Structure 1
Amino acid sequence: MAEESEVSSLAPPGSYGRSDEELAWHIPNASRPKKSNKCLVYILAGIVIQSIILLSFASVVLRVTTPAVKLRWVAVKNLKYDSTTPSSSLNATLIAEVTVKNTNFGRFEFENSTASFIYGDMKLGDMKIGTGRVKARETNRVNVTAEVRSNGLPDNMNLSSDIGSGTLELRSYAKLSGRVLVMKIVKKRETSEMNCSMTLNLTRGEIQDLLCN
């Protein structure tokens, strides 16, 4: 018995075995910083994705472009002409279809305007384009009429020789002003211009080679 007590007394103090809970308490938790870093990465990634979405939305949906105005077709009615010098004359009724194409993601509201038919640098007649509204990403068609008269043209316009050749080179010009409204966020004024060239065939009484820029 004396030997056993002597052996047990040699054990250093505090050498008793620790429980698993005590060991876990003293071991540093290395996984906590990793979880925090992952959360931070997810948050930053979410912010970046949202920023990309907002920028794409602003650059595509909220971006405003100028609507396009063009002549789709022109019909000739009541054509009368005289190539006799110096009383050469031209009278006709031109019926046309004007298209207003709106590629924006908001409607385009335009004001009263006119389109002119021009020979050389002189105006032959006007056609009225009333107020209107074009829905988002749609095209409106407007029928217009112009009475074309050569009265008042100067003698140096060579109208007589052009009528004698059977064709007249004409132009049509219009300026359409209005505003584009996108989702009640963007309101921007836009002005569209139409420049078209065409050939009036007097023999056939029709418009040919209609081209709009």
Structure 2
Amino acid sequence: MDSPKAIESKQRRSNSCLCLALVGLLLSVLFLLLILSFTAFKPKDPIFSINWVSVEGVSVSIDNPMKPSLNLTLLMDVSVQNPNKVRFKYGDSSAWLYYRGQVVGEVPIAAGDISAGGTVEMIMPLTLMADQLLSNPNLYSDLISGTISFSTYTKLDGKVYILDLFKHHLVAYASCIVVVNVHNATVIDSECRYTNEL
């Protein structure tokens, strides 16, 4: 028959083995979750696509070469797809309108989220800020030519949470060059790319 000390020693060894087994199991689970977060759940940036661009509310005046004026609103229909297997949450964001490298319009995009594998559609009205536009010396010659080239830049900044353990920062970008005929208020050419470079 084992002595009390021998029994106590066996129990300690048994407890130590149990603790080591539990720690090993926990580490294995964490390792598996880590592998899943970078394989099956590997985070991917959301995908922008510009469905269409149109012009509305155009008003042009070139009577005074010293003070030409142009008022218009570009409407952009944008789709953003979340390719991830988890929800993408984005914060307050913006879309900007540029004329010859200068910001001449901005529209805020309210914070939101896109479900796993889902797509959201946004219609964004980019209205010209006349004071910024009028300060550009090229405006008069562009109005005389009848066509003006604008560029747009849209950015969504957000996060995905993999298995509620790993947080990944993701960003979606879209930029377009839009050529507008100011006489008949139409978009005569547009080209978009989905990159973080203007």
Q: 1:200 aligns with which of 180, 188, 192?
A: 180
Q: Which residue does 1:105 correspond to in 2?
A: 85
Cα shift at 1:59:
4.8
Partner amino acid for 1:68?
Answer: I
Partner of 1:40: none
Instruction: Identify which of 27, 38, 61 aligns with 1:82.
Output: 61
Corresponding residue to 2:45 among 66, 78, 88: 66
Verify the 8 A CA contact 1:76 1:206 in the aligned structure 2.
yes
TM-score by length of 1: 0.67
> Structure 1 CA distance, aligned partners of 2:39 and 2:190?
33
Q: Which 4+ stretches in 1 moved above 3 angstroms?
A: 53-60, 152-157
* Equivalent residue runs for 1:8-157 within 5 Å: 57=36, 59-83=38-62, 84-153=64-133, 157=137
**CA 1:64–1:154 in structure 2 vs 1: closer, same or farther (change >3 Å)?**
same
Counterpart CA distance in 2 for 1:191 and 1:54 is: 24
Deviation at 1:71, TM superposition (A): 3.0
* TM-score, length of structure 2 as denominator length: 0.71
Q: How far does residue 146 in structure 1 lie from its aligned partner after superposition?
A: 2.5
Return the alpha-carbon distance in structure 1 between the equivalents of residues 101 and 91 of structure 2: 26
**Could you say what secondary structure the match of 2:187 adopts?**
strand
Whether the 8 Å contact between 1:196 and 1:211 is mirrored in structure 2 is: yes
Give ranges in structure 2 of 5+ residues lacking alignment: 1-31, 194-198
In 1, distance between residues paired with 2:108 and 2:76? 11
State the distance in 2 between where 1:99 and 1:190 align.
17
What residue is the counterpart of 1:174 in the other structure?
154
- Return the letter of the residue paired with 2:146: G
**Post-superposition shift, 1:144?**
2.0
Q: Computing the radius of gyration over CA atoms, which structure comes out larger, 1 or 2? A: 1
d(CA) in 1 for partners of 2:166 and 2:80? 20
Is the partner of 1:152 in helix, strand or coil? helix
Q: Which amino acid aligns with 1:105?
A: K
Percent of aligned pairs with the same residue? 27
Provide the C-alpha distance between the structure 1 equivalents of 2:132 and 2:45, rounded to a whole number of angstroms: 36
1:87 alignment partner AA: K
| Larger displacement relative to structure 2 (161-170 or 81-90) | 81-90
Q: Counterpart amino acid of 1:65?
A: K
